[in-house]
Structure 1
Amino acid sequence: MVKVEMVDLKAQMASIGEQISARIADVLAHGQFIMGPEVVELEEALSQFCGAPHTVTCGNGTDALQIALMADGIGPGDAVFVPGFTFTATAEAVLVLGARPVFCDIDPATFNLDPESLKDAVDRVRKEGKLIPRAVISVDLFGLPGDYARLVPYCDQEGLLLIADSAQAFGAAQGHRNVGVLAPVTTTSFFPAKPLGCFGDGGALFTDDAQRARLYQSLRAHGKGDEKYDIVRVGLNSRLDTIQAAILLEKLKIFQGEIDARRRIAHAYTERLRGHVITPEIPTGTNSVWAQYSIRSDRRDAIMAAFRHKGLPFAIYYPRPMHHQTAYREFGLGEGSLPISENTSETILSLPMHPYLSDRAINAVCETVLAAVQA
C-alpha cells in the first residue's frame, strides 16, 4: 500500500536539506540570532515576491494580527468583524486587546467571508450602538483569497480597517495582484505546515503604508523608539528568529514550483471527484495556493471510516464554527445564527495536500473517497 502523508516536510527536506543546513550554519557562524541580517534579507525577498512595499516579520501569525490591530488603536468598545468559520487566532487576537469579535457568515462556495453577511452585521452593530465598528478581518481560508473587489470599497466607505488574514494564502493571487497587496494590511503565518513554513513559529505583516510599517516594527520589539531602550508605546516581544528567516529564504527559492505542484494536484483531485462530492470552487481570475484541499459531503463519516481502514490521513478544518466554541459562545448569536458556517463544519473534510504528493497517492485518496460515497 502506498504511504500517504497529510503534509510531507521530510520530502521537502530531501530536496533542499543541504541548502537549509548551510543557511543555518551561516547563522551559527555569525551569531546574530535576534534580528540578524537574514531577517532584513527575508523581508526584502518577501516584498519582492508579493509586491508589497513594506514587509515586517514577527514571531507568529497570531502576533501579526494583534500587531495590526494594535497599530490602529483597536481596543475596548470596538467591534472587529470576523468570519465564523476560521481558526481561533482570528478572534483571539481581537479579544486579547479588549475589543469584541462580531461573527459573520461565509460564502458556501469559497468558505471565505460573505460580504452581504458582513454588511448585515455592521448595520446591526451600528443600530445597537453599544460598540464602535472599527475593523474587518477577512480570512483567506485554505489558500484562497477573499472577495477583495467587494470588501475593499465597502470598508473604505464605512471607515473600517481591512486586514487580510492570509495565514494560509501567501503565494495566492487575484488577477495580476498577489496576496500581500489585495488589502491595506495583510498578515501571514510561517507555521511549518503552511505552504511557506519555517521550522517553528513565524509570521509577517504586509502593507503599502510606510507609517504603519514603522509602527509594526516598533510594536514587535516592545514598542521601541529610535533607540533600544527608548520605549514609546506598549508592544510585544515578537521578533522572527534569524535561524527561521534563514530557513525561509531557502524555502522561498522553491516556493513557486511548490505552488505549481499544489495546483496540479488540486486539479487532479477535482477531475476525479467532481460530481461525487462537492469540490472546491475557485472564482474566475483567482489563484489559490491550496494550503488545503477540502471537499464537502453528507457521507463524511463514511469517507473518514474508509480512510481509517486504508490508513490514509485526513483532517476536519474546522469541526465547529467559532460561535459554538466554548470560549466564544458569549460573543455569538447562538445556534442557527450562521447557517453556512454551521453546515460547513458538519460536512467538510480536508484531503492530503502537499507539493510532493505522488500520482499513486492521489489515486489512492480518490479511489477511497469514491468507494465510500458510492457504497
Structure 2
Amino acid sequence: MIPFVDLKEQYISIKDEIDTAVLKVLESTQYVLGEDVTNLEVEFAEYCDAEYGIAVNTGTSALHLALLAAGIGVGDEVITVPFTFIATVAAISYTGASPVFVDIDPVSYTIDVTQIEKAITERTKAIIPVHLYGQPADMEPILEIARRYGLVVIEDAAQAHRAEYQGQRVGSIGDLGCFSFYPGKNLGAYGEGGIVVTNNPEYASTIQMLRDWGQASRYHHILRGYNYRMDSIQGAILRVKLRYLDAWTEARRSHAARYDQLLADSKVLTPTVMPYSHHVYHIYAIRTSKRERLQQILSQQRIQTGIHYPVPVHLQPAYADLGYQRGDFPQAEAAAQEVLSLPMFAELTQSYKCRLQWLSLQQSAIKRRKKLT
C-alpha cells in the first residue's frame, strides 16, 4: 500500500540522530523550554530570514499569541478565508475578535486579493492569509492593502515551511508568521509544536511572556498569559529535522512534478504553481467533479488519499453563529466538494514496492479517465 504519509520511513532514515538528541534531553532532565528550544528558535528564525522566533506548543497557539501580541481583541474583526483548517478561525475566536471571510482564488486556493478591500470595516484590525497546501498567498497586494488601512498581516504558514513568495521565505513577509510542527507537516515534531517568527522586537517580547504565564521573570507576571511552552524533546527533534528540510522539500517538489506527468492526460485538475510561488507541496491536491469515484478507484489500487477540506469553515456548525450561508463563498464551497489529496512525503519513492504501486496510480488515472469526465 502507498500510505498518505509515512512518518516511520522518515524516522528510520534519521533514527540515530533523533535518538541521540532525545537521549541527551532525557539525561539533562530539562524537559520544558531549555537549550534545545532556544536554539531551535534562533535556527528556525534564521531559516525564515526573520529576526525572532518564539516556540510554542502548537500551531494554533502560535496564531493565538500572534493575534494577541498585535493587540487583537473583543470587538475587532480579522479577515481570513473559509477554506482552511479550522485552527485559523479558532485562533481568532480565542481572542474575542470576529472572523470575517473572503473567498478563495479558484486557481491557487489562497485568499482572493481582489475581494479583501470590500470586506474591511472600521473594526478590521488584521488579515490572516493562509499559505494553503504549501503555496504562498499573493502577499504583495495584501501588504499594500494592509498599509493603506493600517492593518496587521499575520501569515498562517502552518503548511508552508520553506515556501517562498517572489524569492522571500514565507513567515517573514508579513508582521508575524505562524508555523505548525504537527507530525505530518513538512517539518513535523514527534508530538505537537509551533512557532511564531517576526522582525518586530515588541511582538517577540510579548509572545515570549504570553506563552509562559505572562512572566517577565520567574514569578513576576506582567500579562495574563498561557501555558503554551514547547517541550525540550520536541525542540531537539525539530533541530535535527530542520537540517533535512531543504532536501525533503526538493523531494516533494520532484514527486509533484512526477504526479504532474502521470496525470497530464487524466483530465483531473492538477495543482497550478503561481508565478510568484515556490510551492513546497505539503499537500498535492488534485480536483475532479467525480471525487468519490476516483477515491474509490485509488483505494482499490491500495493508494491512500485524503480530503483537505471537505467542509469550509463558514458551513461548520461550530461557526453557524457568524450568520454565513451556503452560496456565500462559491469558490471555497466548490473546492471543498472536489479536491482530493494524493500521497505526499519525501520518502515516497524509496522502496521498490512503492515505485510499482506508483505505476498503478498512472493506470488508474489514465485508463479510467473517461469515467471522471
TM-score normalised to the size of structure 1?
A: 0.95
C-alpha contact 2:212 2:225 (8 A) present in aligned 1: yes
The aligned amino acid for 2:10 is Q
What per-residue deviation string (whole Å, max 9, x for no partner) do you get for residues 142-192 of structure 1?
A: 011111011111111111111100000011112321112121110000000
What per-residue deviation string (whole Å, max 9, x for no partner) do you get for residues 236-265 of structure 1?
A: 101110000000011111111000000000
Paired position in structure 2 for 1:261? 251
Paired position in structure 1 for 2:68? 70
C-alpha contact 1:302 1:372 (8 A) present in aligned 2: no
Paired position in structure 2 for 1:114? 112
Question: SS of 1:218's equivalent?
Answer: helix
Aligned pair in 2 of structure 1 residues 170, 68: CA closer, same or farther (>3 Å)? same
C-alpha contact 2:34 2:232 (8 A) present in aligned 1: yes
C-alpha contact 2:77 2:99 (8 A) present in aligned 1: yes
What per-residue deviation string (whole Å, max 9, x for no partner) do you get for residues 126-156 of structure 1?
A: 4xxxxx1111111100011111011111111
What per-residue deviation string (whole Å, max 9, x for no partner) do you get for residues 74-123 of structure 1?
A: 1111111110100110111111221111111001011101112222211x
Paired position in structure 1 for 2:260? 270
The aligned amino acid for 1:369 is A
Moved more, 170-179 or 288-297: 170-179
C-alpha contact 1:222 1:234 (8 A) present in aligned 2: yes
Structure 1 gap segments, 5+ residues each: 127-131
Q: CA deviation at 1:221?
A: 0.5
Paired position in structure 1 for 2:370? 374
Once residues 279 and 69 of structure 1 are traced to their aligned partners in structure 2, the CA distance between those partners, rounded to angstroms, is: 34
Once residues 370 and 290 of structure 2 are traced to their aligned partners in structure 1, the CA distance between those partners, rounded to angstroms, is: 9
Q: CA deviation at 1:346?
A: 0.7
Paired position in structure 1 for 2:36? 38
Paired position in structure 1 for 2:347? 356
Paired position in structure 2 for 1:173? 164
Q: CA deviation at 1:338?
A: 0.2
Question: Structure 1 stretches (4+) deviating beyond 4 angstroms?
Answer: none
Q: CA deviation at 1:363?
A: 2.6
Paired position in structure 2 for 1:129? none
The structure 2 residue matched to 1:194, chosen from 185, 192, 196, is 185
Aligned pair in 2 of structure 1 residues 361, 214: CA closer, same or farther (>3 Å)? farther
Q: CA deviation at 1:361?
A: 4.0
Question: SS of 2:39's equivalent?
Answer: helix
C-alpha contact 2:301 2:360 (8 A) present in aligned 1: no
What per-residue deviation string (whole Å, max 9, x for no partner) do you get for residues 280-336 of structure 1?
A: 111124111110000111121210111222222111111011111001122142111
The aligned amino acid for 2:333 is E
The structure 2 residue matched to 1:215, chosen from 206, 212, 228, is 206
Moved more, 216-225 or 273-282: 273-282
Once residues 361 and 129 of structure 2 are traced to their aligned partners in structure 1, the CA distance between those partners, rounded to angstroms, is: 31
Residues 186-335 of structure 1 correspond to what in structure 2 (within 5 A)? 186-225=177-216, 227-275=217-265, 276-335=267-326
Once residues 366 and 229 of structure 2 are traced to their aligned partners in structure 1, the CA distance between those partners, rounded to angstroms, is: 46
What per-residue deviation string (whole Å, max 9, x for no partner) do you get for residues 185-237 of structure 1?
A: 10000000000000000000011111111111011111111x21110111110
C-alpha contact 2:60 2:87 (8 A) present in aligned 1: yes
C-alpha contact 2:301 2:361 (8 A) present in aligned 1: no
Aligned pair in 2 of structure 1 residues 263, 213: CA closer, same or farther (>3 Å)? same
TM-score normalised to the size of structure 2?
A: 0.95
Moved more, 333-342 or 302-311: 302-311
Paired position in structure 1 for 2:137? 146
C-alpha contact 2:138 2:276 (8 A) present in aligned 1: no
Q: CA deviation at 1:73?
A: 2.1
Paired position in structure 2 for 1:100? 98
Q: Percent identity?
A: 34
Question: SS of 2:286's equivalent?
Answer: strand
Question: SS of 1:6's equivalent?
Answer: coil
Structure 2 gap segments, 5+ residues each: 350-354
Question: CA RMSD of the aligned region, Å?
Answer: 1.2
Q: CA deviation at 1:364?
A: 2.6
The aligned amino acid for 1:343 is A
Once residues 360 and 188 of structure 1 are traced to their aligned partners in structure 2, the CA distance between those partners, rounded to angstroms, is: 35
Once residues 286 and 7 of structure 1 are traced to their aligned partners in structure 2, the CA distance between those partners, rounded to angstroms, is: 24
Moved more, 323-332 or 237-246: 323-332
Once residues 278 and 362 of structure 2 are traced to their aligned partners in structure 1, the CA distance between those partners, rounded to angstroms, is: 23
Once residues 336 and 138 of structure 1 are traced to their aligned partners in structure 2, the CA distance between those partners, rounded to angstroms, is: 21
Question: SS of 2:127's equivalent?
Answer: strand
Once residues 116 and 78 of structure 2 are traced to their aligned partners in structure 1, the CA distance between those partners, rounded to angstroms, is: 11
Aligned residue-pair number: 365
Paired position in structure 1 for 2:352? none
Question: SS of 1:342's equivalent?
Answer: helix
Once residues 50 and 351 of structure 1 are traced to their aligned partners in structure 2, the CA distance between those partners, rounded to angstroms, is: 27
C-alpha contact 1:302 1:373 (8 A) present in aligned 2: no
The structure 2 residue matched to 1:85, chosen from 83, 86, 100, is 83
Q: CA deviation at 1:39?
A: 0.7
Q: CA deviation at 1:372?
A: 3.8
Q: CA deviation at 1:373?
A: 2.8
Once residues 152 and 285 of structure 1 are traced to their aligned partners in structure 2, the CA distance between those partners, rounded to angstroms, is: 15
Once residues 254 and 281 of structure 1 are traced to their aligned partners in structure 2, the CA distance between those partners, rounded to angstroms, is: 26
